[in-house]
Copies of this chain bind each other. A is one copy, B any other.
Amino acid sequence: MTTREPLREPRQERSRTTRRKLIGAVVQCLAERGWQGTTVAEVAERAGVSRGAAQHHFPTREDLVVAAVEHLGDEQIAELRARAAALPAGPSRALPVAEMLLDLYAGETFRAALHLWVAASTDAGLRDVLLPLQARVGREAHRVAVELLGADESRPGVRETVQATLDLARGLGLANLLTDDTPRRRQIARQWATLLEPTVTATARPGAGVPGT
């Protein structure tokens, strides 16, 4: 016992570092080689971790994927919240919020996720792994979008407008897959901000449209 105790902390730390490395490597591997080219051995090599250590943490590539999707979903939402917190309040906020939300799926994380989703459409095992994750990550994204937009979902149509914003963001992520679609996405975000404002944030402007109030 006495010889093991002092090792405990560093071992846990080492373990966390290994997990982090493996999760980073699986995303890179999925984005570059797809689900077909993603094996625990390949991911271990990219992470600079022994195959045995990798399999200790993640016995199958499905386990790796669950950890990666959860970790990245959380990370993305946290980053979004942090960036949004730095924005000024008021109407000048609408455009940067629209841009942030529509950029949500324009990067490597979405590219990796897309490989998984498409592979899952022809692989029932992977599909069963991904469906509950999709639901959880989707709910979190919805929650943060409501928060950033200051949306009042008790008003009719607002919930669907927030959902449409995220579905639009995923469609734009797809359009960014083979080419850099950023300039077009920026123009759509500008228009989206003007479409969103009266629907989503109407309660923020009491009396708007009622002359004399």
Contacts and interface: CB of A to CB of B under 8 A. Distances in A.
A184 B163 contact: yes
Contacts of A31: 121
Interface string A31-55: 1111011000000000000000000
Nearest to A177: B121
Nearest to A131: B178
A160 B179 contact: no
Interface residues of A, number: 46
Interface stretch (A2-10, A19-27, A66-74, A186-194): A186-194
A99 to B, nearest CB: 13
A167 interface: yes
For the residues of A in contact with B, the DSSP-based class is helix
Nearest to A111: B121
Contacts of A167: 168, 171-172, 174-175, 188
A26 B129 CA distance: 28
Contacts of A109: none
Nearest to A172: B167
A58 interface: no
Contact of A191 (B117, B160, B166): B160
Interface string A156-200: 010011011011111111110111000010011011101100010
Nearest 5 interchain pairs by C-beta: A171-B171, A167-B171, A160-B191, A170-B171, A168-B168
Given A120-B178, A121-B178, A167-B168, 17 more contacts: A34-B119, A36-B36, A37-B122, A114-B118, A115-B121, A117-B177, A117-B178, A131-B179, A160-B191, A167-B171, A167-B174, A167-B175, A167-B188, A170-B170, A171-B171, A171-B174, A195-B199
Interface of A: 31-34, 36-37, 111, 114-115, 117-122, 127, 130-131, 134, 157, 160-161, 163-164, 166-175, 177-179, 184, 187-188, 190-192, 194-195, 199
